[in-house]
Copies of this chain bind each other. A is one copy, B any other.
C-alpha cells in the first residue's frame, strides 16, 4: 500500500531555492539540503530532493559541483567562482576567479585547447581553524597539549 502523494506539502524545489538564496552555507550536498528542509519542518525524501535539484539545474537556477569529498554539491548559479575548502571544518567559501582568467587565456594559446569551463578547488585551513590550531588545546588544561 502506497501513500505517495501524501499531504504533498506544496513544493520542495521552492523551499530549496529559499534555503539556498538565504546563504550562510555555500555548497550543499543533497543530504545537507534534505536535513535543512527537515529543520524547517519539511520532511522530504532524498529522492525528492534529488529530483528537485535536478529540475533546478535544468532551469538554470543551480549548478552541480564536485568538490573533493566524493559527493556532489549543489550551489546557486550566480557568476562563476572557485572554491576554497577548509580541510578541518569543511566549510566551503566561494572566491572570484578573476586572477585566473589571464592564466587561462595564456593556456589556450599554448595548448591549442578551447577552454570552455574550469573548476578550481583550493584546499587549506580557514582563518578560524588556524586560530584554533594555534591555541593550546584548552587553556584550562595546559598539560593536555598533545605534542
Q: Which residues of A contact B (CB under 8 A)?
A: 66, 68, 70, 84, 86-87, 93, 95, 99-100, 102-104, 106-107, 111-127, 130
> What 3 pairs across the A-B complex have the smallest Cβ distances?
A99-B103, A112-B127, A115-B124
B123 touches A115 (CB 8 A): yes
Q: In the complex, what residue of chain B is closest to A129 when comparing beta carbons?
A: B114
Number of copies of this chain in the oligomer?
2
Can you list 17 A-B contacts (CB < 8 A)? A66-B70, A68-B119, A84-B111, A95-B107, A95-B111, A99-B102, A99-B103, A99-B106, A100-B103, A112-B130, A113-B122, A113-B127, A116-B125, A117-B122, A117-B124, A118-B123, A120-B121
Chain B residues with CB under 8 Å of A122's CB are: 104, 107, 113, 115, 117-118
B114 touches A124 (CB 8 A): yes
